[in-house]
Chains A and B, each alone.
Chain A
Amino acid sequence: MKIAVLSGKAGTGKTLLSVNLAYVAKEATYVDCDVEEPNGHLYFKGSEDAKRTTVSRKFPVIDDGKCTSCRVCVDFCRFNALAMAGETVTLFDNVCHSCGGCAILCPSGAISEEDRSIGEVSDYRVGSVRVLSGKMNTGEAFGIPIIRTLFSRIDPSDGTVVVDCPPGSSCAVMESIRDADVCVLVAEPTIFGSHNLDMVARLAKLFDKQIGVVLNKYEEGRENPSEHYCEENGLPVFEKIPFDKDLGMHHSEARIAAQEEKRYAELFSGILGKANKAASGGVS
């Protein structure tokens, strides 16, 4: 089973839920797709000894000797990554999408491509949990190839797959939820939380996924716009994680709460059970 943990807004508790779900699932693969700001490896300690693989993408290299300044590449590039500077073509690599078109279309064979590292994937085990974590180099703009590499490494025989998605509802998120059996949406009790819950719930529905919501930082008796949203839109609530200083401190210190205290292990096992049920088509 593959669980995608997501939230429109960042900082609502995706990593909290993801690492704890993977921990209580025992036989599990935890996949950290937040390649811009990965944090899962801080909880599953031991990444220093991980097997690392560099992820590259292709960038054009222009041979000025062969370039005839015909502008075919410059006119083709819809991302404006190539420009004429006098007689020569200059690359703005930050906006290059690596489509490869310029190299294919150049009539004088002046453009080749070279692989350049944009980040890496770490693969290691902590107990019975396999950890796959992606990390984009700082200064890079696009992390999607790293997410694709992460997904290519998943082996269903490694048990429950828990995908810790990037924030937002962008292309990187879609890439992360494409193959999920169930989407667990984490929401915090503010109008920011409910506004962004709406965005990501619509995204999950667009992909026709089973959905469950986990209300984080829940306080009994306090106004909770995300809870209202679930009621109004008929979204099942898997669990309410209470606003709890002890839980907050475990998480702040990068400890897996379910490993530290039995009450948290029970809390997250309950959520895992509901996610399993939803994934197998049952109504929660």
Chain B
Amino acid sequence: MKKVLILSGKGGTGKTTVAAAFISIEKARAFADCDVDAPNLHLVTARLPEPEIFDYYGMGVAVVDPDLCIGCGLCAESCRFFAISMNADSVAVVDAPACEGCGLCERLCPVGAIKTEENVAGRRMLYTITGEPNKDGVSSKGRKTVFSTAELRMGSGTTGKLVSEVKTALYDHADKDVPIAIVDGSPGIGCPVIASITGTDLVLLVAEPSVSGISDMKRIVETARFFDPQIAVCVNKADTNEGKTAEIIGFCAEENLPFLGRIPFDSHVTAATNAGSSIDRIDCPAATAIRSIYNRVREMVLEYPSAAEDK
């Protein structure tokens, strides 16, 4: 199974629109949403059945037993995350959202007053679609289609771990003969993005033609290159700033990054999104452009030797 990941660095450039269209064009039988901070792919994926839902446990959170606490302050002094302070009564108090669950306070407490307790930090969803294909192309030929996604609880950390679980669930449950899995990534260049890139065969960057968009694209290219997938670029809303689109195409040429095409600004996209549909099902300029880009993605990823199996 080849793995195609859609990223952008900057948010709001059209990752999910492109990913949903790719899924529909490929009639993908394996896909995932790794933007666990703000997942949206399920909103434009037609006719999903009820998912299997799993609690996601974060790293745990420190809990103090105030009756046992002797007020020595060792925990507060040692916490690198400023998650424990001593209150007016000299009792340790945990700021749960700041706690990263390292367990050091529990280990150091001389009277055993602190326990690192399991905390539900989000939920992971696995949709399995079997049976006849529906007319939206979500399932294909009666075989199994798997969609893996998750939602982090507000303000929880450890997004990378949840992203890894989403990917593992996808690869474990998808049929082995699936040619291409499509994964929608998250914005930025940090923890969840890095977790999503590992084991990916091809990263498609959806760039935005603006000064900010170009700055952000360069940083995600640098980040992706730590992991050695194939990297390709397309521009969304290309005609909103032709000068900057030309600059992106020039950058790709300099950096030897395949430039796969330009998607025009198209008001059908907002309308399709709000109807909960992929743009691919509408005959419009953006859909035509995305189809042509996907053909090139497909060629690139199928020709290339597979990335190491993700574990």
Contacts and interface: CB of A to CB of B under 8 A. Distances in A.
Interface string B5-46: 000011111001000000000000000000001101001000
A15 B270 contact: no
A171 B273 CA distance: 28
B191 A142 contact: yes
Interface string A262-275: 00000000000000
B143 interface: no
B174 to A, nearest CB: 25
A223 B270 CA distance: 10
Interface in A174-206: 174, 188-192, 195-196, 199, 202-203, 206
A44 to B, nearest CB: 12
Interface stretch (B156-164, B175-183, B255-263, B296-304): B156-164
A245 to B, nearest CB: 8
Q: Which of A79, A95, A173, A252 has the most CB of B within 10 A?
A: A252
A170 B159 contact: yes
B212 A42 contact: yes
A223 B271 CA distance: 9
A42 B213 CA distance: 11
B141 interface: no
Interface stretch (A23-31, A96-104, A126-134): A96-104
Contacts of B189: 36-37, 136, 138
Given A42-B215, A192-B40, A252-B209, A9 B274 contact: no
B90 to A, nearest CB: 22
Interface string A11-48: 11001000000000000000000101101001000000
Given A78-B103, A192-B16, A252-B240, A167 B187 contact: yes
Interface in A53-109: 58, 76, 78-79, 94-95, 97-101, 104-105
A167 B40 CA distance: 14
A234 B121 CA distance: 28
Interface in B112-149: 116
B240 A37 contact: no
A253 B154 contact: no
Contacts of B103: 76, 78, 101
Given A97-B100, A252-B240, A192 B273 contact: yes
B211 A253 contact: yes
A198 B290 CA distance: 30
A8 interface: yes
A136 B190 contact: yes
A236 interface: no
A225 B82 CA distance: 39
B59 interface: yes
Contacts, number: 173
Nearest to B219: A138
A203 B78 contact: no
B155 A171 contact: yes
Given A37-B187, A100-B104, A171-B155, A10 B11 contact: yes
A254 to B, nearest CB: 4
A251 B210 contact: yes
A183 to B, nearest CB: 13
Nearest to B189: A36
Contacts of B191: 141-142
Interface in A95-153: 95, 97-101, 104-105, 136, 138-143, 148
Among A12, A36, A79, A139, residue most surrounded by chain B Cβ atoms (within 10 Å): A36
Of A139, A143, A170, most B-chain CB atoms within 10 Å: A170
Interface in B77-116: 78, 80-82, 97-98, 100-104, 107-108, 116
B43 A100 contact: no
B219 A37 contact: yes
Given A9-B12, A10-B187, A173-B155, A191 B276 contact: yes
Contacts of B38: 8-10, 167-169, 195-196, 199
A191 B97 contact: no
Contacts of B102: 78-79, 97, 99, 101
Contacts of B116: 78
Given A36-B188, A37-B219, A170-B156, A254 B104 contact: no
B59 A167 contact: no
B20 to A, nearest CB: 11
Given A10-B188, A104-B78, A167-B37, 13 more contacts: A36-B187, A36-B193, A37-B10, A37-B219, A78-B101, A100-B104, A167-B11, A168-B38, A169-B37, A169-B38, A170-B155, A195-B43, A203-B154
24 contacts: A9-B11, A9-B12, A10-B38, A11-B11, A11-B12, A12-B12, A15-B212, A36-B187, A37-B220, A39-B215, A78-B116, A99-B100, A101-B102, A139-B194, A140-B190, A148-B82, A167-B11, A167-B187, A168-B187, A169-B152, A169-B154, A173-B155, A252-B209, A252-B213
Give the 5 A-B CB pairs with smallest separation, nearest first.
A11-B12, A10-B11, A168-B37, A99-B102, A254-B211
